[in-house]
């Protein structure tokens, strides 16, 4: 079992987060997007996962009234399947509990079986699709919810 530390993301982490981001998504977020999330969006909550001092993953959500909307979770390809994504999601759920969030939700690509498995492991259930949600390939989004946070 590798030792994973999860902590709040700060602007100085963006450099490392971008490496994971660019290796993980076809339409990666920009440096500016992360900076805005950390410095301008009072409803955002972002965390990083570190192994041996290096950033290997991150995740985030928005607090929308009593709901937590997960925006993204990504793990460096070399560290996938080792429990890092689980640690990140556990931390987001812990933050949600501390902030009296009652339900959490997210959208995930219909074909993204790994991410759906991660969310299902933590009690998220399928609740429908958004047709052609992703602009790069027109893929549907699966909407998942977890009640009773
Ligand atoms: C989705 C992602 C974050 C999972 O992170 P991870 O660190 O590999 O996840 P974990 O090792 O903690 O695995 C947690 C659970 O996810 C599921 N899972 C992970 N990889 C899987 C795979 N390749 N196939 C099927 N299920 C998988 C399993 O249910 C696993 O539970 P288990 O270990 O008890 O079997 C990672 O694959 C990733 O970064 N993908 C690219 C970015 C992405 O798609 N993000 C999601 C956007 S919504």
- Structural domain spans, the chain: 5-106
Mean pLDDT of 128-133: 97
For residue 114 and ligand 1, the question of a CB distance below 6 A is answered with yes
**Per-residue confidence (pLDDT) for residue 132, from 0 to 100:** 97
pLDDT score of 72: 97
**Do 79 and 56 touch, CB atoms closer than 8 A?**
yes
pLDDT the model gives residue 119 = 98
The answer to whether the CB of 77 is under 6 A from ligand 1 is no
Rounded to the nearest integer, the mean pLDDT of the chain is: 97
pLDDT at 106 over 90: yes
Residue 1 pLDDT: 75
Q: What is the SS3 assignment for 89?
A: helix
Banded model confidence at residue 114, pLDDT cuts 50, 70, 90: very high
- For ligand 1, whether the C-beta of 85 sits within 6 Å is yes
State the average pLDDT over residues 107-135.
97
Residue nearest to atom 30 of ligand 1 (CA): 118
5-106 has which fold? Answer: Aminopeptidase (3.40.630)
* Span 38-60, pLDDT tens digits: 999 999 999 999 999 999 999 99
Supply the residues annotated as catalytic.
107, 119
Give the list of residues 6+ apart from residue 32 with CB closer than 8 angstroms, or none.
none
Question: What SS3 class is residue 25?
Answer: coil
Phi-psi sector, 143: left (phi>0), alpha (psi -120 to 50), beta = beta
């Amino acid at each position: 079992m590798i030792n994973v530390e999860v902590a709040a993301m700060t602007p100085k982490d963006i450099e490392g987060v971008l490496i994971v981001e660019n290796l993980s998504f076809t339409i990666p977020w920009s440096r500016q997007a992360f900076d805005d999330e950390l410095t301008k969006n009072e409803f955002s909550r972002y965390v990083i996962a570190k192994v041996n001092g290096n950033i290997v993953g991150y995740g985030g959500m928005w607090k929308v009234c009593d709901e937590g909307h997960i925006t993204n979770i990504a793990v460096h390809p070399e560290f996938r399947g080792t429990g890092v994504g689980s640690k990140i999601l556990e931390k987001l759920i812990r933050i949600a509990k501390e902030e009296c969030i009652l339900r959490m939700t997210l959208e995930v690509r219909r074909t993204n079986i790994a991410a759906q498995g991660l969310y299902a492991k933590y009690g998220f259930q399928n609740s429908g699709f958004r047709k052609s949600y992703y602009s790069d390939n027109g893929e549907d989004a699966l909407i998942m919810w977890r009640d009773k946070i």
